[in-house]
Amino acid sequence: MILDSITDCIGNTPVVALEDNLVPVGKKLFLKLDYFNPNFSVKDRTAFGLVKKAMDRGELKPGGMAIESTSGNFGKSLAMLGAVYKFRVLILVDPKVSPSLLKWYKAYGAEIEMVTELDEDGGYQKTRYKRVKELMSQYPDTYWTDQYDNPNNPSIHFETTAKEIVDLPIDAVVGAVSTGGHLCGMGRFIKEKKPEIKVIACDVKGSAIFGHPFNPYLINGVGLSWRTENTDLSVIDQICIASDQEAISTCRILAKEHGIMVGGSGGLVVVSALSFLNHSNAKSALAIIPDTGINYLDQIYDDEWLDLKGISLLDRRELKDAIDNKKFDIPYELHLSKSWS
Ligand SMILES: Cc1ncc(COP(=O)(O)O)c(C=O)c1O
């Protein structure tokens, strides 16, 4: 098939069954590998949706400029789209970004600004956010994609990603949350069309999205020190919190024993999905894998880096124990309004 543009390669990602004895007997775990997008992450979908809407409305034009604060993947996608549609891209990053990502942005011609000041939570997300606001008041014609609160983020997943999964033979969809865009966009569609499919949100221990105190954590892309407008609690059935150690150990097993190399948030959704299958009557679950481990060869796939960060890998038996002992909950705000299921 000959396609017109690299943007036609976004979406329609493959789904692979995981054959592993951590999957309970008689049950199925499927992985939707969103690293089969042009920049190897789910964020190609999000960025394309936001850019397309902004261009359709005339808010972003060739020769104009788009700005965003990103921990990594969204910036790559936006930078690629800047090259395709001929607008300038300014990306705000922080010191957690990997050096190869910076080269990636530059390869597409994007401009970069790094914030270095820690915010009051000990992370950088709020500092980046504050800097975007400053730049927007300095350059009012700039388009801020605002993946955190722009409703067109979940909308693109409602319109596209959800349609790729809703007819699969699944009892649950398990996804990582940061902006909440991809999981809650899909979740809204699922709740409209097939409400019997459970929507399970996973977050990393240390993130404050679901009301826990914020503490810095290692894996990238997932979690936040606050909750965005795009995290729609009404479409989430249950939440699962897993640690850096559990997520990274799962990543290493997936790579070494299955040839599936995922990013830390991919490990997080897989360990959460395994736990959900263990703790529920669900016969099958679909884990959305947001990105590839290629992004983290110098981090979670590097034993010296793990030593430096004080992470010891769990072996299969220890991981099985962690899966067995994991607790599921509903978002605390919903305790009063939703019955436990
Ligand atoms: C690797 C990775 N995992 C998970 C997420 C969370 O996705 P969302 O922002 O749609 O909640 C992101 C988003 O940046 C990501 O890059």
Residue 339 has pLDDT above 70, yes or no: no
**What pLDDT, in 10s, does the model give residues 100-118?**
889 999 999 999 999 999 9
Residue nearest to atom 12 of ligand 1 (CA): 221
pLDDT at 124: 85
Q: What is the pLDDT of residue 336?
A: 42
Are 110 and 82 spatial neighbours (Cβ–Cβ below 8 Å)?
yes
Structure tokens of 297?
């060869």
Average pLDDT on 70-80 reads 91
Task: Give the closest residue (by CA) to ligand 1 atom 15.
Answer: 221
Residues 6+ apart with CB under 8 A from 196: 171
CB 45 within 8 A of CB 10: yes
What is the structure's pLDDT at 191?
98
Predicted confidence (pLDDT) per residue in 171-205, tens digit: 999 999 999 999 999 999 999 999 999 999 999 99
* H or E element that contains 264: helix 264-279
Pocket test for ligand 1, best of 94, 179, 188, 271 (most atoms within 8 A of CB): 179
* pLDDT band with cut points at 50, 70 and 90 for residue 340: very low
Please name the residue that has the structure tokens 């493959």: 14
pLDDT tens-digit readout, 115-155: 999 988 788 878 988 999 999 988 888 999 999 899 999 99
Q: Is the CB of 177 under 6 A from ligand 1?
A: yes
Residues in Cβ contact with 42 at an 8 Å cutoff, skipping those fewer than 6 apart: 34, 73, 161, 182, 288, 290, 291
Higher pLDDT, 338 or 276: 276
What is the reported pLDDT for 341? 34
Q: What is the CA radius of gyration of the chain?
A: 19
In CATH, the number for domain 43-144 is: 3.40.50.1100
Residue 212 pLDDT exceeds 50: yes
Specify the residue with its C-alpha closest to ligand 1, atom 16.
221
Asked if 322 and 246 count as a contact pair (C-beta separation under 8 A), the reply is yes
Mean per-residue pLDDT for 241-248?
98
C-alpha 181 – ligand 1 centre gap (Å): 8
CA dihedral (115, 265, 275, 244) in degrees, to 10, reads -50
CATH number (3.40.50.720, 3.20.20.140, 1.10.645.10, 3.40.50.1100) of 6-36+157-324 reads 3.40.50.1100
What is the number of other CB atoms lying within 10 angstroms of the CB of residue 338?
15
Chain mean pLDDT for the chain: 94
CA 102 to centroid of chain Cα atoms: 19
Closest Cα to atom 3 of ligand 1:
221
| SS3 (DSSP) at 327 | coil
CA 45, CA 39: separation in Å to the nearest integer?
Answer: 10
| Domain regions of the chain by residue span | 6-36+157-324, 43-144
The domains spanning 6-36+157-324 and 43-144 adopt the same CATH topology = yes
Query: What is the percent of the chain with per-residue pLDDT over 90, rounded to a whole number?
Result: 83
Q: What are the pLDDT digits (tens) for 25-52?
A: 999 999 999 999 999 999 999 999 999 9
In the predicted structure, residue 337 carries a pLDDT above the cut 50: no
